[in-house]
Amino acid sequence: MNDFVFQNPTRFYFGRKQLQHITDELMGAKTVMIAYGGGSVKKTGLYDRIAALVEGVGARVVEFGGIMGNPTWTKVEEGAALANDEGVDFILGVGGGSVMDCTKAISLAARQDNAWKKHWVRFEPIIVDPIPHGFVVTCAGTGSEGNGGAVITNEKTHVKTGKDYPELNARFAILEPELTFTVPREQTIAGSYDILSHLMEIYFSEPVGDALADNLLEAAMRTVIKSLEVVLEKPEDYQARANLMWASSLAENRILKCGKNGLFQVHMIEHQIGAYTDCVHGFGLAAIQAPYYRFIKVTSALMTWQLRRFAINVWGINPEGKADIDIAIEGIDALQAWTEKVGAYRTLGELGVTEDMIPKIARSTTILPMKFCKLNSDDIEILLEQCL
């Protein structure tokens, strides 16, 4: 197990009837921006319920909607300008990962000049106090409610990037599984695949072995796989929705990353796919996840060993009488079969990637210093061509 420092200042309110805690958390706030996405929070009446709670503590509400699935820096700047013009002293993000990421970025950009270059390009330390913020989570997927990461797309430079800054952790996060009952099927699938991908990328990082982290990650992966299958049959199954929501938070609130390197190479590739196509993040991951592991399966004995363990402990592959590499391949095949079974699989072509984009995506992808394998831009280009 690697050395680590664990820090998470966010307070999590999980379960039924948790919205009432908004009044506890916002005491003293004077002007609260409610940030949201495409408008479903208004159709369901959730926006009005939350606005009433905010006004109940004597605060004025400032509305900021229209946050897109892959939030752009232009949208961040728009929100930061509004926050400054209206004297916002608290931001309440209501939605899924895109809303939460955009909220965090707004909270910093409103207080920091030239924030994109300083904190999303050069990754400089934060030396200002971002606007305090909190979340009401309506979709399980990114786990953004539990960290300080904000993945933002600069549509002018075709760069999609982010970094986990503890200073951007939310003050609180409200997780009511029932709020996810009305999430559209496609969004539920994409979000759940994002959870699984987060868990896998932590799992397939060093160190490997019978460590506490790997055992916990295997349990979490099995839970996501089973829970999504249940939800697709019974969208209002509370326990399955609750499992997905908490697994999402656990995957990204730093707990399961403790002791692991947690290098997210699949995410780095997908981020650039998204930067060029604006595709749904979870489906972008699903297009390259199994092909990626198939591509690197023999890059080291450690990778083969961990893929073998993944096959046996997550997918239930019988190892008797089989070589390690064959077991590993069966596990990758099981992942691909499940990806197709739950409706997550798309080719890159279906997601909008064209042949001329592939070299640009490959050469703009961040290459992480993974010990399992040493990829280069040419490798990523080959992988992308195989997924087209």
Kindly write down the DSSP assignment for every residue of 124-137, as one continuous string.
PPP-S-PPPEEEEE
Q: Which residue has the tokens 């013009």?
A: 85
Phi and psi dihedrals of 204, rounded to 5? -90, 50
Does this model's pTM top 0.75? My answer is: yes
- Residue ranges covered by each domain of the chain: 11-180, 185-387
- pLDDT for 4 equals 85
Triad 24, 28, 31: Cα angle to 5°: 110
Q: For residue 204, what are its two tokens?
A: 């397939």
Distance CA 261, CA 247 (A): 19
Nearest to 105 by CA among 71, 138, 139: 71
Residues whose CB is less than 8 angstroms from the CB of residue 156 and which lie 6 or more positions away in sequence, other chains included: 73
CB of 275 closer than 8 Å to CB of 364: yes
Burial 198-232 (b: 16+ CB within 10 A, else e): bbbbbbbbbebeeeebbebbbebbebbbebbeebb
Model pLDDT, residue 368: 92
The pLDDT value recorded for residue 318 is: 98
Whether residue 186 contacts residue 141, with contact meaning beta carbons closer than 8 Å, is answered with no
Looking at residue 5, its pLDDT comes to 86
**DSSP class of residue 388?**
-
User: Tokens 């929100």 — which residue?
Assistant: 79
Q: Distance (Å, rounded) from C-alpha 327 to C-alpha 388?
A: 26
DSSP letters, 254-291, are STTTTTS----HHHHHHHHHHHHH---HHHHHHHHHHH
- Name the superfamily (CATH) of residues 185-387: Dehydroquinate synthase-like - alpha domain (1.20.1090.10)
The first and second tokens of residue 159, run together, are 């760069």
CATH code for the domain defined by 11-180 = 3.40.50.1970
Burial of 17 (0-12, 13-18, 19+ CB in 10 A): exposed
Q: How far apart are CA 339 and CA 292, in angstroms?
A: 14
Q: What is the pLDDT of residues 148-204, one digit of tens each?
A: 999 999 999 999 999 999 999 999 999 999 999 999 999 999 999 999 999 999 999
Residue 102 C-alpha from the chain's centroid: 13
| pLDDT tens digits along 245-303 | 999 999 999 999 999 988 899 999 999 999 999 999 999 999 999 999 999 998 888 89
pLDDT value at residue 2:
84
Q: Which residues of the chain register pLDDT less than 70?
A: 210
* pLDDT value for 211: 79
Strands 152-154 vs 159-161: parallel, antiparallel or unpaired: antiparallel
